[in-house]
Amino acid sequence: MSGLASRSFGRRRFAHSVDAGFLLSPFMRLGAHAAPARRAKRLLLFCTMGTQPEIWAPPHAVAENDFTWSACTEPLMAIREHVVMIDGLPTANPTNQHGAPDGLTGLGYQYLETPALVSVDQFVADQLELRGIRRPIPTLLLGSGTNLAGGLTMFFRNLNLATINSPMAAFQTAFGRTVTSGPSPEVLLRRRRSIVDLVKSEVSDLQRAVGTEERARLETHLDSFRQLEKRLAPIGAVPQSRCSPNPPADESSLEHVQKNLLHLDVIVSAFACDVTRVAAIEFGSDQSLPVNLPELGLQGDQHGQFIHAGRPDYKDMIAFERWLAGCLVDTVNKLKAIPEADGSGTLFDNTLIAWCRDMGDAHLHNQKSMRFVLVGGAGGYLAMDPNGRYLLGTADGPSNRHERVLLSICEAMGIDNFTGFGDPRLGADKTPFPGIAAR
């Protein structure tokens, strides 16, 4: 092995350990088909159980950016310029009912306990690791009461994956060592400067080995690192408040939904401290979620009482859905308040949040029309409109599969090879859902 090759190999191993591989990734596959340049750094899955079509869908829709928000989704109007709602997409197994893994995997009951069954959170984390983006926690799965009544979570890696039930346990998992021994802002700044120097050297090596056109692209990439150096110059470029996790409050008297509010705070802190790039929260199990929100006059089980006993007006279900939407808005605002360490906006600007469900119609127990809400700066991936966007799937057949939204989530994270995820029968239709991404 030549000296240059040996030096480059050593640099790459070092780069992967500190995420310089992420900075170099646009040039790791020169000449190959590339995912859209706009992409998110982080993914948050906000998982809840099924709702009712008639209370969730816009009561009046003229166009994708001209619709009336329903009573359930109205709180999202506060962040409507960041919202894309998708409706009308079935799973491959729309009659699988409770506990079907389709929601996040694209595969039905027949794949339970097989290696093919991987939920999108696990697949994204695996693909990030293959690109050298390694964090102490590949995926942080949280949620109180996600095994109630023998229920399952929406997360799978061959077998069903459990969530961390206790917010304090979640905090200790994420920050047990980081809080006491994490690097100071000054150390982080020096490390990031070293990464920039390393990547500039790597790009220079690549310039000597490629043609004229690709050399010009590399020069443009170098310019971006020169700009990054300028942003890193002052010590104040790494805000002291960016990574300062606080332990959750006493949870001993809290109900499941209140514990999940603490879980959301843990996720925001984990993103701020770069402990993980992929996190998920689930509200309840597929069988049950006791809700006690006295400030809203809500008490009872979400599925058994709010859905099955809530007809015809579904008053309690609407109130709970509005509360969930408000939780999502609060999380968005918290992410917006925390700047990125490298000066590239806020955590929100580089995060994709996906509100996903296990069923489309909770009363009829089917997945004939799954519902998603995608929110986030997402690195510029999402196509936005000041009024928000509402996309409705109308065609029959594989092209109308809800899995295509899961593929859009993957694409938003820079993943364009979907081998090993979802239903292999999609064939030529195994592509992201059209209209979600900005082009």
User: 26-57: per-residue pLDDT in tens?
Assistant: 333 333 334 445 899 999 999 999 898 999 99
Q: Is the pLDDT of residue 196 over 60?
A: no
The answer to the question of residue 12 being in a domain is yes
Q: What is the pLDDT at residue 21?
A: 37
Among 84, 21, 36, residue whose Cα is nearest residue 386: 84
- Considering 226, 245, 264, which residue would you say is the last residue of a domain? 245
Please report, for the domain that includes residue 303, its CATH number.
3.40.720.10
Coil, strand or helix at 217: helix
Q: What is the pLDDT at residue 420?
A: 95
Helix (H) or strand (E) holding 125: helix 120-130
More confident residue, 9 or 48: 48
- pLDDT, tens digit (0-9, with 9 covering 90-100), for 87-131: 999 998 888 888 889 999 999 989 988 999 999 999 999 999 999
Residues 346-363 have a mean pLDDT of 94
**Confidence (pTM):** 0.79
More confident residue, 149 or 184: 149
Q: Is the pLDDT of residue 241 over 90?
A: no
The answer to the question of residue 438 being in a domain is no
Angle between helices 256-272 and 315-336 (to 10 degrees): 20
Are 45 and 148 in the same domain?
Answer: yes
- Distance, in Å, from the CA atom of 398 to the CA atom of 82, rounded to the nearest integer, reads 28
Residues 138-159 have a mean pLDDT of 94
The answer to the question of residue 435 being in a domain is no
By the 8 A CB rule, do 409 and 437 touch?
no
Q: What is the pLDDT at residue 170?
A: 96
The answer to the question of residue 173 being in a domain is no
Burial class of residue 174 in the structure, from the number of CB atoms within 10 Å of its CB (0-12 exposed, 13-18 middle, 19+ buried): buried
- Show the tokens assigned to 7: 């030096």
The answer to the question of residue 434 being in a domain is no
Q: What is the pLDDT at residue 243?
A: 82
Residues 373-382 have a mean pLDDT of 95
Are 21 and 62 in the same domain?
Answer: no
- pLDDT, tens digit (0-9, with 9 covering 90-100), for 414-423: 999 999 999 9
Categorize the per-residue pLDDT at 303 as very low, low, confident or very high, splitting at 50, 70 and 90: confident
Residues 199-216 have a mean pLDDT of 62
More confident residue, 348 or 223: 348
Number of domains in the chain: 2
Q: What is the share, in percent, of the chain residues with pLDDT greater than 70?
A: 76
Are 300 and 363 in the same domain?
Answer: yes
By the 8 A CB rule, do 311 and 317 touch?
no
The answer to the question of residue 439 being in a domain is no
Coil, strand or helix at 128: helix
Are 105 and 222 in the same domain?
Answer: no
Q: Tell me the residue range of the domain where 233 lies.
A: 1-34+184-245
- Considering 227, 245, 263, which residue would you say is the last residue of a domain? 245
The answer to the question of residue 174 being in a domain is no
Are 230 and 344 in the same domain?
Answer: no
Q: What is the pLDDT at residue 234?
A: 37
Give the CA radius of gyration of the chain.
22
Are 301 and 404 in the same domain?
Answer: yes
Beta bridge partners of 339: 346
Q: Is the pLDDT of residue 274 over 60?
A: yes
Q: Is the pLDDT of residue 323 over 70?
A: yes
Q: Is the pLDDT of residue 434 over 60?
A: yes
Strands (E), 149-263: 156-157, 159-160
What is 366-380 written as a DSSP string? Answer: B-SSEEEEEES-GGG
Are 289 and 304 in the same domain?
Answer: yes
Residues 59-69 have a mean pLDDT of 96
What is the residue whose two structure tokens read 């007809």? 311
The answer to the question of residue 45 being in a domain is yes
Among 394, 310, 422, residue whose Cα is nearest residue 51: 310
Are 283 and 241 in the same domain?
Answer: no
Are 283 and 380 in the same domain?
Answer: yes
Residues 74-82 have a mean pLDDT of 98
What is the residue whose two structure tokens read 């109180």? 144
- Considering 215, 245, 275, which residue would you say is the last residue of a domain? 245
Are 293 and 315 in the same domain?
Answer: yes
Determine the distance from the C-alpha atom of residue 439 to the mean position of all C-alpha atoms in its chain, rounded to a whole number. 20
Are 279 and 331 in the same domain?
Answer: yes
- Distance, in Å, from the CA atom of 403 to the CA atom of 411, rounded to the nearest integer, reads 12
Q: What is the average pLDDT score of the chain?
A: 83
Categorize the per-residue pLDDT at 209 as very low, low, confident or very high, splitting at 50, 70 and 90: low
Helix (H) or strand (E) holding 196: helix 185-207
- Show the tokens assigned to 36: 């859209």
Are 288 and 356 in the same domain?
Answer: yes
- Show the tokens assigned to 184: 């100071």
